A and B are shown apart, each in its own frame.
Chain A
Amino acid sequence: MRATIKGLVGAALAAVMLSAVPARAQVDTTIGLVLVQEDDPLPLSRLEDPADDDAVAGAEVGIADNSTTGRFLGHTYDLTVLRPSPEDAVAAARAAVANGAGFLAVAAGADTLQAIAAAVPDALVLNLKAEDDTLRTSQCHDNIFHVIPSRAMKADALAQYLVWKKWDRWVLIHGSHPEDNAMAEAYRRAARKFGANIVEERVYEDTGGARRSDSGHVQVQRQMPVFTQNAKRHDVVIAADENEVFAAYLPYRTWDARPVAGDAGLRVRDWHPGSEGWGGTQMQTRFEKHAKRYMSGNDYLAWLAVRIIGEAVTRTDTADPDAIRGYLRSDAFEIPGFKGLPLSFRPWNQQLRQGILLADGPLVVTVSPQAEFLHKTSQLDTLGYDHPESECSLAD
C-alpha cells in the first residue's frame, strides 16, 4: 500500500485539470542568481567562512518550494546561477535575460547592482546585498526590488531593542571603511529617532595585515581593553564593522564590563539558523536536508527572493516581469518570511518590509520592530526611512 502512493504526484497533476484551480496556461519562470565575485573580507572566525554553495542552496530550496506549488498549477521554475567578476557582471546579466530569465536575484555592491539594472530594463532585479540607504532614499530604480534590509532598517531594529531595554547610552565604535561610516551614520540617525544618546564615538583604523594568525589572540587580548579604555559612562558598545576588522574582538575584552551589539555580541542578522519562530523550523529543516549545513543569511535572502517571485507567479498566473512588478507593488502582495508580520514592498522605493532578527551566538534574542513602537500604516515602517523621509516615489 505504502509503495503505491509514491505514484500519486502524477495523479495529483491529472487531478488539477478537474480542480477548483481552473486549468491554467503553462507558465515557465526562469530566475537568474547573479553572485558577483567581489573581494569580500574574510570573517574573523573560521566558523563564519561562507560555504561554497552559499546563497545557491537557499535559492535551490526556494525553487523546490515554488515547484511543489507549481505542480498543482502547471507552473515550472528554473534557476540559473552565474558567478561573474564585477567587470563581466553586466554582460552576464544581459545574456541571462536574453536566454529567458525574467528575474535576476543579484548579490553585488551598489554600483554593479545599478549597472545591471540599467542594462536589463525589462527584467526585475532583486537586490540581495547592497544595503546602501541612498538606494532607498534618492537613487531608486523602477526595476530594482530590495530584498535585503537597508543599513537604516538594521540600525533602527537594534535601537528599538536597546531603547526598550533602557540601554540608551551608547559608545559607537566604527571602522574606517566607507561602509563603516555609512553604518555609523545609520546608528546616529537611529539614536536621534528613538531617543538614545551616543556618548562617545571611536574609529578603529584598518591598518591591514593578516586576518588570522596562529596566536593572534595574545595581542588582541591586550589591544582591545586599551582601545576601549576611558570611555564616557555608557550602557552598551555598538560596533559598526562591515569589513570584519575588529568587532568580533570586542566582547569580553572591553575595558568596562559592557555588552557589545551591532556587528558582534548582539548581532543584527538577515537570518539565524537557530530561529524557530512563526513556523520557521520547517524551512530550516528543509534547507538542512538539502544543503547538509545550516542556513546562512545569504541563503535566506536568496530563498526569499525566489519565493517572492514564486508567490507572485502563483497569484497572477503569469511570469511577465511587468505584471509581476505591478503585483509586488500592490497591497495584494504579502509573503510569510518567518519573521512575524507578513512581508510586503514599500511602493515608493520597493524595499521589502520585514522584521529583523537580533541574535547572540546560538539564539535569537528578539525580533524588531518592538511592539511598543507604533506606526500609522505598518509597524514594519518604523524600521528605516519612511515615505516622507525618502525622495523616491516610484510609480506603477
Chain B
Amino acid sequence: MLIKLLSATATAALLAGPSLAYTAYVTNERGNTITLIDTDTMEVIKEVPSGQRPRGITISPSGHELYVCASDDDTVEVYDPKTMELLHTLPSGPDPELFVLHPSGNPLYIANEDDNIVTVVDVDEHTVLAEIPVGVEPEGMGVSPDGKYVVNTSETTNMAHFINTETYELDINTLVDSRPRFAQFTDDGSRLYVSAEIGGTVSVIDPASGDILKKITFEVPGIVPEALQPVGVRVTSDGKTVFVALGPSNRVAVIDGDTHEVIDYLLVGQRVWQLAFTPDEKYIISTNGNSNDVSFIDVAARKVVKSLQVGELPWGVVVSPE
C-alpha cells in the first residue's frame, strides 16, 4: 500500500515535471513585514520585519538585491533576499509607492506620489540621478524591455507619461481612464497595458505611437460595476495571456492577449491588488489585502489552487529569479 502510494506520488511528480523552488516575497502594508513563501510547497517560510508601510517590491535581475518601498519611512530598503538582512537604503524622495528597475538592474525609477515627480536612483552609487516632473499623483511604473522608455501613470492627471530614459523628457503623454494604477509592457515591447482603477478599464496602448488600440472592460454577474477596479497587470512572456487584478471585486481577470477579450474571472481573496508570476510561469500569485492572504493561480489551468495566509494587508509581491 505504502509502495503504491509512493509510486503514485512519483508518477504525479513526473507528470508535473520538475518544479523548481522559488521564493516569493510579499509586502504586508499594515503589518510592516515581508512574508517569504516557498512557491513549490506553497508554504510560508518566514515573516520578517520591514520598514514602515512596505508597498512596492522588486528584485534585481541577478536575484541578489530585493528592493522594498518603505512608504512611511520615505526610503527604499535593499535586502539580501537569501538572509533578509537589510543591506542599505536608497534615497527615494517622499512617500515611494511603486518603482521599476531598468532591465539591466540599474537605475531604479520611483514614483513619488506626494511631489508629482519620478525619482531616478543609481542603485550602485546610492545617489539621485534625476527628478522628473510628471502629472498629479504618479503611481504606476513600467519599463520597456529595451529599457528605452519608462512609463509612469499619474492618478489624478490620468495619463501614461512615456519618459525617455536617456533624455528624461516626456516624449509621449497618453490620456487614459480615471485613476491609472499600473503600467505593464509585453516582453516583446509591442504593447503596453495601463489599468485605470476608477475608470474600470485596461487600455491597450501601442508604445510606438502612444495610441490606445483598445480599452478592455470587465463585467461579472452579481458584482456592481464600480467594484471592478483593475490594478495589477501581468502578461505571460509569449504575450498570449494577460492577468488583471480587479481590486474589491475579489477577482483576477484572464484576458486573451490577441483578441483582448476576457476569457475568465477567477475568484481570489478580498481586495486583490498586485500579481507576480513564478519565473517558469507555472503560477501567478495575487495579493489579497483585506483577507490577509495570497492566492496561487495555476496559469495553464486558469485555476486558483491555493490560498495562503500571510501578514496584515498584503500589498506587493515579487518572485526570485532562481
Are A and B part of the same complex? Answer: yes
Query: Least Cβ distance of A295 to chain B in Å?
Result: 15
Is B168's CB within 8 Å of the partner chain A?
Answer: yes
Interface residues on A, range: 35 or more
Beyond A68-B135, A72-B135, A336-B178, whether A342 also contacts B172 by CB under 8 A is no
Beyond A20-B209, A282-B114, whether A69 also contacts B159 by CB under 8 A is yes
A336 B155 Cβ-Cβ under 8 A: yes
Is B312's CB within 8 Å of the partner chain A?
Answer: no
Q: CA separation between A285 and B72, bound complex, in Å?
A: 13
Inter-chain contacts of B158 with A (CB < 8 A): 69, 311, 314
A15 B170 Cβ-Cβ under 8 A: yes
Query: Least Cβ distance of B110 to chain A in Å?
Result: 14
Number of A-B contacts (CB under 8 A): 118
Inter-chain contacts of B169 with A (CB < 8 A): 8, 11-12, 15
Query: Least Cβ distance of A310 to chain B in Å?
Result: 9
Render A71-104 as a binary contact track against B, CB cut-off 8 A, 1 for contact. Answer: 0110000000000000000000000000000000
A378 B136 Cβ-Cβ under 8 A: no
A1 B226 Cβ-Cβ under 8 A: no
- Interface residue ranges of B173-215 to A (CB < 8 Å): 173-175, 178-179, 197-199, 205, 209-212
Inter-chain contacts of A341 with B (CB < 8 A): 226
Beyond A286-B114, A334-B198, A341-B226, whether A72 also contacts B173 by CB under 8 A is yes
Q: CA separation between A68 and B161, bound complex, in Å?
A: 13
Beyond A5-B131, A342-B198, A342-B226, whether A68 also contacts B136 by CB under 8 A is yes
Is A275's CB within 8 Å of the partner chain B?
Answer: no
Inter-chain contacts of B210 with A (CB < 8 A): 19-21
B137 A2 Cβ-Cβ under 8 A: no
In this complex, how many residues of chain B approach chain A with their Cβ under 8 Å: the count is 43
Inter-chain contacts of A315 with B (CB < 8 A): 175
Chain B interface residues (CB < 8 Å from chain A): 95, 113-114, 116, 128-133, 135-137, 139, 154-159, 161-162, 167-175, 178-179, 197-199, 205, 209-212, 224, 226
24 pairs, CB–CB < 8 Å, chain A vs chain B: A1-B130, A5-B131, A8-B132, A8-B170, A12-B133, A15-B172, A16-B173, A19-B173, A19-B210, A20-B173, A20-B205, A21-B159, A68-B136, A69-B136, A69-B158, A279-B155, A283-B156, A286-B136, A307-B156, A311-B178, A314-B175, A342-B226, A378-B224, A379-B224
Rank and list the top 9 A-B pairs by shortest CB-CB distance, nearest first.
A20-B210, A69-B157, A341-B226, A342-B198, A20-B174, A12-B170, A72-B173, A19-B172, A282-B113
For the A-B complex with A19-B174, A21-B210 known, give 17 more contacts whose Cβ atoms are closer than 8 Å. A2-B129, A2-B131, A8-B168, A8-B170, A11-B170, A19-B162, A20-B173, A20-B205, A20-B211, A21-B173, A65-B157, A69-B156, A282-B95, A283-B156, A314-B175, A335-B198, A336-B198
